[in-house]
């Protein structure tokens, strides 16, 4: 390493840690205010433990990225993704992620089946241990229903504030008492309520997601493991999140190993606050992200590195599409990346068509098995109703007969929602898109510039894509974005809305790495490669974000 470079590193590294120490002290004042208002002195202890962990991860990661440069990026990714994933799932606790309660109960249902238990009651409600019911009913609405009162239940983490931390602290990861004579909301005994290893069962009021159970295998394994250890309901949730994180890290690590180029871009995408928040949750977005990244790596590897396509490669792509399709059918657009692979690598047009039929057929078959009814409803309905808005919505038939209206609402959405999509993709609003749990705009801007910096061409680096391939990737990304918006227009948008409702930036994360790779060009070439410095900066920002988020929750009373 040259003396000038050593000098810059010798200044930058300690200065960055000192600045992080200043932020720690600043947010310590907020945590102290929370302790003063609530009397929960353990908040201060937890914040100090978090700070020690954050400093250890950032300092160690900086050493691996900037000093011990022999470590490959995928090896450093393992350390950062596991460390920050665990920290994010601790600071942003169970059921606070987007739609996480639905994903939690879907995984719980699969866990019942893994353990040989009856997954649901005869009325369709998922059966859970009665000791876990309080997590979706913190205020005891279950008992109030029996008296005829109509009160919405309070679910743990839906509004993430200091009381959520307190509930987790008071209940811990183990223990919890079963309810005697568990009842449903109509006051009737639960059939089969006894017999789960002597435990009583209860009916969950949460609605599972209608999708392939494969999307919940990691989470269900974690919940099952927690049940075998007699952990509390909170313990089950943390185990489900942890197993989901392990799955994601393993698959994306394999994807980075297979990437022929652009490892730093995938690393940067994985270090966004929104990505880390999702990977530390029980959302099936974890499955979508992991498989999308691996599918992208597989296509790029076959197109630009490997000499031929093997049968196992086609089989892997088919399996990925079969699992990915029922989760979010809009990501079928990813199959278009296969067209980057030259036909000669398949061994001729005959084998190419056979491979294409296998991959597309696996996707189509999985959609037919899992989502055929939903597709049929959306394709044939002439009228639509949006329950959350309590008014009529858009149907596919209506949009086909009113193309001008379709173009207008897409135009308005692009004008007025682009900023929201960008902010929520990076992670400006975490939790259930909670604007209080925010990442400051300066941090969002810095992370965005980091992604662009990682994407620019470095000295001596060849352009991975020719113009035709680049345009094709843009078409795929635009098509995926349009498909996402169209699906939410039909399923979630009331007629009175001028823009498409319900679309979030996280929906675009699966295609972000390959889109960023098209940024490389001959016009803008950086003079020196600073990818590792940029990645360290992104990880430093995440350290700051974690300290800030904990302080926000601590004073949110």
Nearest to 305 by CA among 349, 257, 261: 261
Whole-number Å distance between alpha carbons of 250 and 265 = 17
pTM: 0.92
Q: Write down the mean pLDDT value for the chain.
A: 89
First CA to last CA across the chain, in angstroms? Answer: 51
The CA–CA distances, whole Å, from 236 to 227, 239, 251 equal 7, 5, 23
Each residue's pLDDT tens digit, 53-62? 999 999 998 8
Whole-number Å distance between alpha carbons of 209 and 328 = 12
* Residue after which a domain boundary falls, among 175, 209, 238: 238
Each residue's pLDDT tens digit, 287-298? 999 999 999 999
Nearest to 410 by CA among 419, 401, 399: 399
Each residue's pLDDT tens digit, 162-180? 999 999 999 988 877 666 6
* Residue after which a domain boundary falls, among 238, 261, 287: 238
Contact 529, 456 (CB under 8 A): no
Each residue's pLDDT tens digit, 328-374? 889 999 999 999 999 999 999 999 999 999 999 999 999 988 877 77
In a domain, 130, yes or no: yes
How many CB atoms neighbour CB 377 within 10 A?
A: 12
Confidence bin at 186 (pLDDT 50/70/90)? very low
* Residue after which a domain boundary falls, among 219, 238, 257: 238
Q: Residue range 22-50: average pLDDT?
A: 95
In a domain, 272, yes or no: no
Whole-number CA gyration radius for the chain: 25
Chain mean position to CA 188: 38
pLDDT at position 5 over 70 = no
Each residue's pLDDT tens digit, 504-515? 999 999 999 999
Give how many domains the chain has, as a whole number.
Answer: 2
In a domain, 35, yes or no: no
Q: Residue range 202-221: average pLDDT?
A: 92
What is the domain extent for residue 121?
A: 100-238
Whole-number Å distance between alpha carbons of 51 and 167 = 22
Cβ-in-10-Å burial (0-12, 13-18, 19+) of 163 comes to middle
In a domain, 133, yes or no: yes
pLDDT at position 382 over 90 = no
**DSSP H helical segments within 497-530, as ranges?**
512-517
Q: Residue range 516-537: average pLDDT?
A: 87
In a domain, 19, yes or no: no
In a domain, 2, yes or no: no
In a domain, 110, yes or no: yes
Three-state DSSP state, 120: strand
In a domain, 64, yes or no: no
Q: Which residues pair with 457 in a beta bridge?
A: 525
Whole-number Å distance between alpha carbons of 62 and 122 = 55
Residue 375 or residue 141, greater confidence: 375
Confidence bin at 68 (pLDDT 50/70/90)? confident
Each residue's pLDDT tens digit, 226-254? 999 989 999 999 999 999 999 999 999 99
């Amino acid at each position: 390493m040259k003396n000038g470079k050593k000098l810059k590193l010798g200044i930058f590294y300690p200065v960055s840690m000192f600045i992080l120490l200043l932020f720690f002290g600043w947010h310590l004042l907020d945590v102290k205010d929370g302790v003063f208002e609530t009397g929960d002195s353990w908040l201060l202890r937890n914040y100090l433990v978090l700070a020690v962990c954050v400093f250890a991860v950032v300092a160690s990661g900086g050493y691996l990225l900037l000093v011990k440069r022999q470590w490959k990026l995928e090896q450093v990714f393992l350390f950062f993704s596991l460390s920050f994933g665990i920290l994010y799932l601790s600071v942003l606790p169970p059921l606070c992620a987007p739609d996480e309660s639905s994903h939690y109960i879907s995984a719980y249902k699969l866990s019942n089946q893994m353990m040989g238990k009856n997954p649901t009651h005869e009325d369709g409600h998922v059966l859970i241990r009665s000791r876990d019911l309080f997590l979706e009913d913190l205020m005891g609405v279950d008992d109030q229903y029996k008296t005829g009162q109509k009160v919405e239940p309070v679910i743990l983490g839906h509004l993430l504030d200091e009381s959520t931390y307190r509930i987790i602290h008071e209940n811990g990861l183990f223990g919890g008492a079963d309810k005697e004579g568990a009842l449903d909301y109509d006051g009737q005994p639960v059939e089969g309520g006894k017999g789960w290893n002597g435990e009583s069962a209860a009916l969950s009021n949460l609605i599972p997601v209608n999708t392939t159970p494969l999307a919940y295998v990691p989470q269900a394994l974690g919940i099952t493991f927690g049940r075998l250890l007699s952990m509390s309901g909170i313990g089950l949730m943390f185990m489900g999140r942890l197993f989901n994180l392990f799955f994601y890290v393993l698959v994306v690590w394999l994807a980075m190993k297979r990437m022929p180029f652009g490892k730093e871009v995938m690393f940067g995408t994985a270090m966004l606050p929104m990505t880390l928040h999702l990977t530390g949750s029980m959302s099936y977005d974890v499955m979508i992200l992991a498989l999308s990244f691996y599918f992208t790596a597989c296509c790029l590897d076959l197109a630009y590195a490997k000499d031929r396509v093997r049968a196992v490669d086609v089989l892997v792509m088919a399996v990925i599409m079969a699992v990915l399709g029922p989760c979010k059918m809009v990501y079928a657009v990813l199959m278009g990346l296969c067209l980057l692979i030259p036909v000669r690598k398949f061994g001729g047009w005959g084998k190419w068509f056979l491979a294409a039929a296998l991959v597309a057929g696996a996707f189509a078959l999985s959609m037919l098995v899992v989502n055929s009814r939903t597709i049929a409803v959306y394709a044939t309905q002439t009228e639509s109703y949006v329950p959350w808005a309590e008014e009529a919505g858009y149907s596919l038939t209506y949009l086909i007969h009113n193309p001008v209206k379709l173009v207008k609402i897409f135009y308005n959405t692009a004008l007025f929602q682009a900023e929201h999509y960008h902010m929520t993709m990076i992670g400006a609003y975490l939790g259930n898109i909670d604007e209080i749990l925010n990442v400051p705009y300066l941090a969002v801007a810095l992370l965005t510039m980091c992604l662009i910096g990682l994407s620019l061409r470095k000295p001596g680096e060849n352009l991975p894509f020719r113009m035709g391939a680049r345009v094709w990737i843009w078409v795929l990304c635009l098509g995926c974005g349009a498909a996402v918006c169209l699906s939410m227009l039909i399923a979630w948008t009331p007629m009175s809305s001028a823009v498409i409702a319900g679309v979030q930036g996280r929906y675009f994360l699966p295609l972000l790495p390959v889109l960023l790779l098209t940024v490389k060009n001959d016009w803008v070439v950086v003079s020196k490669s600073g990818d590792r410095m940029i990645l360290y900066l992104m990880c430093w920002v995440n350290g700051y974000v974690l300290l800030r988020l904990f302080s926000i929750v601590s004073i949110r009373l």
